[in-house]
A and B are shown apart, each in its own frame.
Chain A
Amino acid sequence: MPTKFRGVMQSPVTPLKDDFSLDLSTFERLLDFHVRTGATAISWPHHKGESLNLTIPERKRFAEAAVRVVNGRIPVTIHVSALAVEDTMELARHAQAIGADGILAITPYFWTPSLAAIHAYFVRLCSSIELPVLSYNSPSYLAGVEITGDLMSRLIEQLPNFVGVKEASFNSEKFLEISRAALSMRPDFVMLTGVEYLLPSVPLGDRLLFGGGVDLSQSMLTAVRCLHRRRLAACARAAIQNLVALAPVPRPIPLLAQRRHGDDGTPGRTDASTVADRHQGAPGLRPQRAGAARHPRHRAARLVILL
């Protein structure tokens, strides 16, 4: 199955109103903003889009909006990971029905499943739809649960629509274990990593960068350009360091409420506080001003580069 996922995939945050209900009109503007400013794919709702704080009907309604607004200009994938696997299955069928271009799914939450259980999960999920499936490996968030190189090989061999992985180990050895296994079997397999990690990941075969809703700043654009020319000169490094200063990503944790473009005021849902507490010891979830002090004006730049 040939894949069309390359470049920078942007994942919009989920705008909320003051009463924490979903703000559809801002969401539509945000999607359009990402498309116009050069995203090469859209994916929603990621953890930074508060996927786990949304009801299943809310997720379906906004998935429909995403497909409608993007309107075929670039591919749209739907993140279907949910606490209950049956919900994941339902969201996957729904994504296919509304005309999404693919889905993304993490290893099951909470249960710390064995490799055999992870295998069975992806076999069931991929067999239930025809859409391309991007898997999602995130051992640091999921108590060490991870897709190994061997498991990756088995899944690729068995499942024609198992086309990629969002690789979030952020670790030289684990990335290589997976990329080595996957790319040797399927050279167009999609390795996807957060854009802040493009320096360590792209030379090893990463070809889709995950934007996490961060504006395409000049820094990032410069870094991607340097990479495109296959030159990891000091310019790329300096640029990525600016990006890290702009939007610090250190684990733990999600920018649960991210500012609107030109407006810092979107609140996060307080019911995500268990996540925030676990990692930050914070009393609850507060809106964060992402790097506002250090980088007052992000320039939205036109991204013209495909990796």
Chain B
Amino acid sequence: MPVFQPGLVHTPMTPFTRERALDLDLYAKLIEFHIGHGADALALPMHAGESVGLPDDERRALLAYAIKCVNGRKPVIAHVSEASTGIAAALARHAQEVGATAIVATTPYYWTPPPAMVIEHFVQIGAAVSIPFFLYNAPEDMQGSKVTAELCLKLIDRLPNFAGVVDLSLDWQFMIELMTDAPRLRPGFQLLAGTELMVSAGAIGATGMFAPLAGIAPKLVRELFDLCRAQKLFEARKVQEQMAALRQAVKPGGVASLKAAMGAMGRDCGEPRPPLLPLDPMAYQKLVGELDVIAALRAEPRGW
């Protein structure tokens, strides 16, 4: 299998109407924005794209629609995480059928299973397709359910299309262990930073990055990624600090903050679906105040 290198991966949000229905027209506009503002690839719908708020049919429709809009201009990675192994595997098969370039999945929701079950979960999802499979290690999103380097090495053994890890653990120990051993077992095995904290991951060997903040600050995201890919890591520190400030500002409110920040940048994507609540006015004012003092945001595009 030729190695697919995702590079800088934008992870679009999912816009809803006031009635909480999928807003596909706005979604098409958002995808155009990402393609026009530095994405090497798209991954959707990630957690920032409220994947867990989409019923199965909507999730399939959204992916197919996105791939149609992208129309081959960029690779699309389908996020197929589910609580059930069987449902996730079915999503994976569907993703390949509608033309996704790769799939990405995290540990099963809710169960926080022991390692043997986690391996089985990933094996069945990965084996359902012939396109590359990326493992999403996101312990903070998954109630602490965490993937170890040892588990990844076992998966390499069992899954020929296991192409790499998208890391949101931010754990230096995990990343160093993984990149010490995995590429020896599978040449071309990739580490991708799971968010815009790229200097450390890049030093350890990450060659890609998932960017949930790309809709808010696409220039800053691109600059950080390009510096890190060129191994200009010392030069990247200032950019990384601005990026971290933005991440820190939106983190407390989660998806509601991401959507509010999109609105503040003139790219309204509506509000999140329940059970998530929109930011209350005080939290919104606080967020806007924090965004105002991030100098790098002044150079970012406003509106679409």
CA distance A244 to B177 in the complex (A): 8
- Among B173, B175, B176, B241, the residue within 8 A (CB) of A176 is B241
Given contacts A170-B171, A173-B170, A197-B172, contact A245 B200 (CB under 8 A): no
Contact B244 A200 (CB under 8 A): no
- Among A232, A233, A250, the residue within 8 A (CB) of B177 is A250
Type the 1/0 row for B200-239, where 1 means its CB is closer than 8 Å to any CB of A: 1101110000000000000000000000000101101100
Contact B170 A244 (CB under 8 A): no
Q: Does B245 contact A (CB under 8 A)?
A: yes
Contact A230 B203 (CB under 8 A): no
- Among A201, A204, A232, the residue within 8 A (CB) of B240 is A204
> How many residues of B are in contact with the other chain, CB < 8 A?
27
Shortest C-beta distance, A295 to chain B (Å), equals 14
Contact A231 B231 (CB under 8 A): yes
Shortest C-beta distance, B119 to chain A (Å), equals 19
Shortest C-beta distance, B86 to chain A (Å), equals 34
Contact B244 A230 (CB under 8 A): no
List residues of B (223-266) whose CB comes within 8 Å of A's CBs: 231, 233-234, 236-237, 240-241, 244-245, 247-248
Chain B residues near A176 (CB, 8 Å)?
A: 197, 240-241, 244
CA distance A176 to B193 in the complex (A): 15
Contact B234 A230 (CB under 8 A): yes
- Among A173, A174, A180, A232, the residue within 8 A (CB) of B203 is A232
Chain A residues near B204 (CB, 8 Å)?
A: 199-200, 237
Type the 1/0 row for A194-224, where 1 means its CB is closer than 8 Å to any CB of B: 0011011111110000000000000000000
Q: Does A130 contact B (CB under 8 A)?
A: no
What range describes how many residues of A lie at the interface? 20 to 34
Across the interface, name the chain A residue whose C-beta is closest to B169. A171
Contact A171 B172 (CB under 8 A): yes
Q: In terms of DSSP, what is the predominant structure of the interface of chain B? A: helix
CA distance A176 to B236 in the complex (A): 13
Chain B residues near A175 (CB, 8 Å)?
A: 200
Interface centre among B170, B172, B180, B201 (most CB of A within 10 A): B172
Contact B248 A177 (CB under 8 A): yes
Contact A240 B244 (CB under 8 A): no
CA distance A40 to B200 in the complex (A): 24
Across the interface, name the chain B residue whose C-beta is closest to A174. B170
Q: Does A138 contact B (CB under 8 A)?
A: no
Q: Does B78 contact A (CB under 8 A)?
A: no
Shortest C-beta distance, A286 to chain B (Å), equals 22
Contact A203 B234 (CB under 8 A): yes
Contact B237 A172 (CB under 8 A): no
Given contacts A170-B172, A199-B204, contact A245 B237 (CB under 8 A): no
CA distance A202 to B173 in the complex (A): 15
Q: Does B41 contact A (CB under 8 A)?
A: no
Given contacts A171-B171, A176-B241, A233-B231, contact A196 B200 (CB under 8 A): no
Across the interface, name the chain B residue whose C-beta is closest to A180. B241
CA distance A196 to B173 in the complex (A): 9
Type the 1/0 row for B159-193, where 1 means its CB is closer than 8 Å to any CB of A: 00000000000111101110110000000000000
CA distance A245 to B179 in the complex (A): 12
Binding site for B on A (CB under 8 A): 170-177, 180, 196-197, 199-205, 230-233, 237, 240-241, 244-245, 249-251
Known: A170-B172, A180-B245, A244-B177. 4 other contacts (CB 8 A): A171-B170, A172-B170, A173-B244, A174-B170
